[in-house]
Copies of this chain bind each other. A is one copy, B any other.
Amino acid sequence: MRQLNIGTDAYIITNSSLQALFNKNINKSLIKSGLTFYYKLVPDSEKSKSFSVAVRILTDLSAYGRNKRLFILALGGGVIGDLAGFVASIYRRGIPYVQIPTSLLAQVDSSIGGKTAVDLSRGKNLVGSFYQPKLVLSDVGLLRTLPLRQLKSALAEVIKYAVIADRELFIFLENNLSGILAGDKTCLEYIVARCAGIKAGIVSRDEKDKKGIRVILNFGHTLGHAIEAAGNFKVYNHGEAVGLGMLAACGISRRMSLLNENSCQRIEDLIKRAGIPMRIKGLDTKKIIAAQYHDKKFYGAVNKFVLLKGIGRSVVMNNVPLEIIKEVLRERV
């Protein structure tokens, strides 16, 4: 951060648990580098990703920031990263920010690519910006504190990168899944670096999500978001819903004769071995389909799916027949 010359005063947005875990090391390192710091704590829940919390932080920033060379440091998972990035993007028309993601999901996904957002009561991520962090500092040592359910659900995103763009990573996952689940540092470092590289590569070719390239990152997310929404974001977490969405997208790909039976089976097996749910429980498929039709990604089309032509090869299809969507969902209930 010192080398990047992004400012002298770190405004750290985090929650109290993370502060308690990491503040000693962070403070020591910042002091050593001649940087000042200040902690702004937000509640440890999805509710922090709201417009009202953003306003509170902006008001606080405007009081604290006078005569300082501020930059924002987001210490947390996706919620804190998205919120902090949004605040950084609009305070004084943008000040530098740094991501220190503390969850595997944030390390492989949300901290990379500069999509920032907060929620409105009408829906998730309705307000936000495209704004790149100056630095993403991913340390897998921070992950030891994560519950296993979260670690496993992040694996859904890791598997996503492999199946859409990186056959080699897919084979690595097949061969090293137990090491990853046991928290082996070398394995985790490999997948974090590999996923960050894949995402950065895709995003750099389509930063504002306008060229139909970045959209492949939504593999599994079309129905995944609908499954999350149909369960009011309580039944399945993001990674689990994406896992179920990927299974459905594989099913659609196979039914549309894009993906062969063997590849489809290998993907299903990997998802199963990762301990990600294979069945949609307690949700009505009608509700999922209704939620899907409100997804902002269809804005202007009937629907849009990222499908597979093979492991590591993706394709975007518009207007998949509703009957096929219903079939693959019924198969998962």
Chain A residues packing against B (C-beta within 8 Å): 51, 55, 58-59, 62-63, 66, 69, 86, 89-94, 115-117, 120-123, 126-130, 208-209, 294, 296, 299-300
How many copies of this chain sit in the oligomeric assembly?
2
B120 touching A58 by the CB < 8 A rule? yes
11 A/B residue pairs, CB under 8 Å, sorted by A: A51-B55, A51-B58, A58-B120, A59-B120, A62-B120, A63-B122, A66-B294, A69-B299, A89-B129, A90-B129, A94-B130
CA distance A126 to B296 in the complex (A): 29
A97 vs chain B, min Cβ distance (A): 14
By a CB distance below 8 angstroms, the chain B residues around A94 are 129-130, 208
A55 touching B55 by the CB < 8 A rule? yes
A69 touching B128 by the CB < 8 A rule? no
With A66-B294, A122-B63 as contacts: A128 and B90 at CB distance below 8 Å: yes
A118 vs chain B, min Cβ distance (A): 9
A121 touching B59 by the CB < 8 A rule? yes
**Chain A contact surface mostly:** mixed
With A115-B93, A127-B91, A129-B129 as contacts: A59 and B300 at CB distance below 8 Å: no
A84 vs chain B, min Cβ distance (A): 15
By a CB distance below 8 angstroms, the chain B residues around A117 are 93
By a CB distance below 8 angstroms, the chain B residues around A127 are 58, 90-92
B62 touching A126 by the CB < 8 A rule? yes
A208 vs chain B, min Cβ distance (A): 8
B296 touching A92 by the CB < 8 A rule? yes
CA distance A121 to B62 in the complex (A): 9
By a CB distance below 8 angstroms, the chain B residues around A294 are 66
